[in-house]
Amino acid sequence: MILKRFYETRLAQASYLVACAATGEAIVIDPNRGFDTYLEAAEEEGVRIVAVTETHIHADFLSGSRELAKLTGATLYLSDEGDAEWKYGFGENVRLVHDGDAFMIGNLKFEVVHTPGHTPEHIAFLVTDTPAGETVQSAFTGDFVFVGDVGRPDLLERAAGYEGTMEAGARRLFRSLEKFKSLPDGLLIWPAHGAGSACGKALGGVPVSTLGYEKRVNWALRIEDEQVFVNEVLAGQPEPPRYFAQMKVRNKVGPALRSDRPAPSHLGAHRLTELVEQGAIVVDARPSAEFAAGHVPGTLSIPLGKGFTNWAGWFVPYDTPFYLIAMGEAEAHEATNALAMIGLDEVAGWFAPTAVRAWAEETGRPLRVVTQIDCHDLMAEADRVQVIDVRGQTEWDDGRLPFAQHRFLGTLGKNLDDLDRERPVVVQCHSGGRSAVGCSLLLNAGFRDVRNLAGGITAYREAGYPVTGP
Amino acid sequence: MILKRFYETRLAQASYLVACAATGEAIVIDPNRGFDTYLEAAEEEGVRIVAVTETHIHADFLSGSRELAKLTGATLYLSDEGDAEWKYGFGENVRLVHDGDAFMIGNLKFEVVHTPGHTPEHIAFLVTDTPAGETVQSAFTGDFVFVGDVGRPDLLERAAGYEGTMEAGARRLFRSLEKFKSLPDGLLIWPAHGAGSACGKALGGVPVSTLGYEKRVNWALRIEDEQVFVNEVLAGQPEPPRYFAQMKVRNKVGPALRSDRPAPSHLGAHRLTELVEQGAIVVDARPSAEFAAGHVPGTLSIPLGKGFTNWAGWFVPYDTPFYLIAMGEAEAHEATNALAMIGLDEVAGWFAPTAVRAWAEETGRPLRVVTQIDCHDLMAEADRVQVIDVRGQTEWDDGRLPFAQHRFLGTLGKNLDDLDRERPVVVQCHSGGRSAVGCSLLLNAGFRDVRNLAGGITAYREAGYPVTGP
Amino acid sequence: MILKRFYETRLAQASYLVACAATGEAIVIDPNRGFDTYLEAAEEEGVRIVAVTETHIHADFLSGSRELAKLTGATLYLSDEGDAEWKYGFGENVRLVHDGDAFMIGNLKFEVVHTPGHTPEHIAFLVTDTPAGETVQSAFTGDFVFVGDVGRPDLLERAAGYEGTMEAGARRLFRSLEKFKSLPDGLLIWPAHGAGSACGKALGGVPVSTLGYEKRVNWALRIEDEQVFVNEVLAGQPEPPRYFAQMKVRNKVGPALRSDRPAPSHLGAHRLTELVEQGAIVVDARPSAEFAAGHVPGTLSIPLGKGFTNWAGWFVPYDTPFYLIAMGEAEAHEATNALAMIGLDEVAGWFAPTAVRAWAEETGRPLRVVTQIDCHDLMAEADRVQVIDVRGQTEWDDGRLPFAQHRFLGTLGKNLDDLDRERPVVVQCHSGGRSAVGCSLLLNAGFRDVRNLAGGITAYREAGYPVTGP
Amino acid sequence: MILKRFYETRLAQASYLVACAATGEAIVIDPNRGFDTYLEAAEEEGVRIVAVTETHIHADFLSGSRELAKLTGATLYLSDEGDAEWKYGFGENVRLVHDGDAFMIGNLKFEVVHTPGHTPEHIAFLVTDTPAGETVQSAFTGDFVFVGDVGRPDLLERAAGYEGTMEAGARRLFRSLEKFKSLPDGLLIWPAHGAGSACGKALGGVPVSTLGYEKRVNWALRIEDEQVFVNEVLAGQPEPPRYFAQMKVRNKVGPALRSDRPAPSHLGAHRLTELVEQGAIVVDARPSAEFAAGHVPGTLSIPLGKGFTNWAGWFVPYDTPFYLIAMGEAEAHEATNALAMIGLDEVAGWFAPTAVRAWAEETGRPLRVVTQIDCHDLMAEADRVQVIDVRGQTEWDDGRLPFAQHRFLGTLGKNLDDLDRERPVVVQCHSGGRSAVGCSLLLNAGFRDVRNLAGGITAYREAGYPVTGP
The answer to whether the CB atoms of A329 and B46 lie below 8 A apart is no
Of all residues in chain A, the one with the smallest CA distance to B273 is A73
Query: What share of residues in chain B are helix, strand, coil (percent, to 5)?
Result: 35, 25, 45
Q: Specify the pLDDT at position D11.
A: 95
- pLDDT tens digits, one per residue of A187-215: 999 999 998 888 888 788 899 999 999 99
The answer to whether the CB atoms of D210 and B204 lie below 8 A apart is no
Distance CA A61, CA C408 (A): 50
Q: Specify the pLDDT at position D84.
A: 87
pLDDT surpassing 80 at residue C470: no
pLDDT surpassing 90 at residue D173: yes
Task: Collect all residues of chain B within an 8 Å Cβ-Cβ radius of residue A71.
Answer: 265-268, 271, 349
Task: Collect all residues of chain B within an 8 Å Cβ-Cβ radius of residue C455.
Answer: 294, 357, 360, 366-367
For chain B, give the mean pLDDT: 94
Q: Torsion over CA of B69, B71, B73 and B74, rounded to 10 degrees?
A: -30
The answer to whether the CB atoms of B35 and A266 lie below 8 A apart is yes
Cα B342 off chain centre by: 8
pLDDT surpassing 90 at residue D132: no
Distance CA B441, CA A233 (A): 67
Q: Specify the pLDDT at position A85.
A: 86
Long-range contacts of C225-232 (CB under 8 A, 24+ apart): C226/C171, C226/C174, C229/C170, C229/C173, C229/C174, C230/C167, C230/C170, C230/C171, C230/C174
Query: What DSSP assignment string belongs to C171-191?
Result: HHHHHHHHHHTTS-TT-EEEE
Domains A2-253 and A371-462 share a fold: no
Q: Is B247 on the interface with A (CB under 8 A)?
A: no
Task: Please tell me the distance in Å from D270's CA to the nearest CA on chain A.
Answer: 16
Report which of D71, D78, D74 is spatially closest to residue D36, judged by C-alpha positions.
D71
Q: Torsion over CA of A193, A197, A203 and A204, rounded to 10 degrees?
A: 70
Task: Please tell me the distance in Å from D276's CA to the nearest CA on chain A.
Answer: 19
- pLDDT tens digits, one per residue of B56-81: 999 999 999 999 999 999 999 999 99
Q: Specify the pLDDT at position A221.
A: 97
In chain D, domain spans = 2-253, 261-363, 371-462
Task: Collect all residues of chain A within an 8 Å Cβ-Cβ radius of residue D439.
Answer: none
Q: Specify the pLDDT at position B149.
A: 95
Helix (H, G, I), strand (E, B) or coil at C154: coil
For chain C, give the mean pLDDT: 94
Q: Specify the pLDDT at position D39.
A: 96
Reported confidence tier of residue B207, pLDDT bands at 50, 70, 90: very high
The answer to whether the CB atoms of B35 and A269 lie below 8 A apart is no
Q: Specify the pLDDT at position B322.
A: 97
Of all residues in chain C, the one with the smallest CA distance to A218 is C132
Question: What ipTM score was computed for the predicted complex, to two decimals?
Answer: 0.93
Do the beta carbons of residue C391 and residue C429 sit within 8 Å?
yes
Q: Specify the pLDDT at position A202.
A: 78
Q: Specify the pLDDT at position B252.
A: 93
Size of interface B-D (CB pairs under 8 A): 95
Of all residues in chain C, the one with the smallest CA distance to A3 is C206
Q: How many CB atoms lie within 10 A of CB C124?
A: 25
Report the largest interatomic distance among the alpha carbons of chain B, rounded to a whole angstrom. 75
| Opening angle at CA B104, ends B100 and B109, nearest 5 | 65
- pLDDT tens digits, one per residue of D412-462: 988 898 899 989 999 999 988 899 999 999 999 999 899 999 889 999 998
The answer to whether the CB atoms of C268 and D39 lie below 8 A apart is yes
Distance CA B336, CA B345 (A): 8
Cα A325 off chain centre by: 22
Of all residues in chain B, the one with the smallest CA distance to D219 is B132
Q: Is D360 on the interface with A (CB under 8 A)?
A: yes
> Phi/psi of residue D3, each to 5°?
-135, 125
Task: Collect all residues of chain D within an 8 Å Cβ-Cβ radius of residue C73.
Answer: 268, 270-271, 274
Nearest to D262 among C71, C72, C262 (CB): C262
- pLDDT tens digits, one per residue of C65-123: 999 999 999 999 999 999 888 899 887 899 999 999 999 999 999 999 999 999 999 99
Q: Specify the pLDDT at position B434.
A: 92
Q: Specify the pLDDT at position C234.
A: 95
The answer to whether the CB atoms of C364 and B464 lie below 8 A apart is yes
pLDDT surpassing 80 at residue B191: yes
Q: Which residues pair with A150 in a beta bridge?
A: A145
Beta-carbon contacts of C103 under 8 Å, excluding residues fewer than 6 positions away, are C51, C77, C95, C97, C109, C110, C112
Class of domain A261-363: alpha beta
pLDDT surpassing 90 at residue B224: yes
Residue C256 DSSP class: P
pLDDT surpassing 80 at residue D133: yes
Q: Among the listed ranges A220-229, D87-96, D155-164, D254-263, which one has the minimum average pLDDT value? A: D155-164
Ramachandran bin of B349, using left for φ above 0, alpha for ψ from -120 to 50, beta for the remaining angles? left
Q: Is C93 on the interface with D (CB under 8 A)?
A: no
**Average of pLDDT values for B382-409?**
93
Nearest to B137 among D3, D207, D213 (CB): D213
The answer to whether the CB atoms of C72 and D267 lie below 8 A apart is yes
Report which of D80, D249, D220, D223 is spatially closest to residue D153, judged by C-alpha positions.
D220
pLDDT surpassing 80 at residue C125: yes
Q: Specify the pLDDT at position B469.
A: 83
**Average of pLDDT values for A446-459?**
92
Reported confidence tier of residue D238, pLDDT bands at 50, 70, 90: confident
**Average of pLDDT values for D115-129?**
97
Report which of A365, C241, C137, B197 is spatially closest to residue D374, judged by C-alpha positions.
A365
Q: Which of residues 199-218 of C touch A (CB under 8 A)?
A: 204-217
Residue B374 CB burial class (10 angstroms; 0-12, 13-18, ≥19) = buried
Reported confidence tier of residue B259, pLDDT bands at 50, 70, 90: confident
Q: Which residues pair with A3 in a beta bridge?
A: A18
For chain A, give the mean pLDDT: 94
Q: Is A375 on the interface with D (CB under 8 A)?
A: yes
Task: Pick B2-253's CATH classification: 3.60.15.10, 3.90.190.20, 3.40.640.10, 3.40.50.720.
Answer: 3.60.15.10
Task: Collect all residues of chain A within an 8 Å Cβ-Cβ radius of residue C210.
Answer: 185-188, 210, 212
pLDDT surpassing 90 at residue A156: no
Return the exposure string of B303-335: e unless at least 16 CB atoms fall within 10 Å of the residue's CB, then b.
bbeebbbbbbbbbbeeeeebbbbbbeeebbebb
Nearest to A72 among B35, B268, B361 (CB): B268
The answer to whether the CB atoms of C210 and A212 lie below 8 A apart is yes
Q: What is the Cα gyration radius of chain A? A: 24
Long-range contacts of A79-82 (CB under 8 A, 24+ apart): A79/A54, A79/A55, A79/A112, A79/A114, A79/A121, A79/A122, A79/A123, A80/A121, A81/A114, A81/A116, A81/A120, A81/A121, A81/A122, A81/A123, A82/A116, A82/A119, A82/A120, A82/A121, A82/A122
- pLDDT tens digits, one per residue of D21-61: 999 999 999 999 999 999 999 999 999 999 999 999 999 99
Q: Residues in chain B, how many?
A: 470
Ramachandran bin of A106, using left for φ above 0, alpha for ψ from -120 to 50, beta for the remaining angles? left
| Opening angle at CA C203, ends A7 and A112, nearest 5 | 55
Task: Please tell me the distance in Å from D223's CA to the nearest CA on chain B.
Answer: 15
Nearest to A3 among C138, C205, C212 (CB): C205
The answer to whether the CB atoms of B262 and A266 lie below 8 A apart is no
**Average of pLDDT values for B389-415?**
93
Report which of A211, A355, A332, A179 is spatially closest to residue A270, judged by C-alpha positions.
A355
- pLDDT tens digits, one per residue of D68-100: 999 999 999 999 999 888 899 887 899 999 999
**Average of pLDDT values for A232-256?**
91
Task: Please tell me the distance in Å from D439's CA to the nearest CA on chain A.
Answer: 14
Task: Please tell me the distance in Å from C19's CA to the nearest CA on chain A.
Answer: 9
**Average of pLDDT values for A340-346?**
96
Beta strands B322-325 and C136-142: pairing type?
unpaired
Task: Please tell me the distance in Å from A34's CA to the nearest CA on chain D.
Answer: 24
Task: Collect all residues of chain C within an 8 Å Cβ-Cβ radius of residue B375.
Answer: 366
pLDDT surpassing 80 at residue A423: yes
pLDDT surpassing 90 at residue A239: no
Tell which wins on pLDDT, C97 or C238: C97
Task: Collect all residues of chain D within an 8 Å Cβ-Cβ radius of residue C257.
Answer: none
**Average of pLDDT values for C399-406?**
95
Of all residues in chain C, the one with the smallest CA distance to D73 is C271
pLDDT surpassing 80 at residue B470: no
CATH fold group of domain C371-462: Oxidized Rhodanese; domain 1 (3.40.250)
Reported confidence tier of residue A407, pLDDT bands at 50, 70, 90: very high
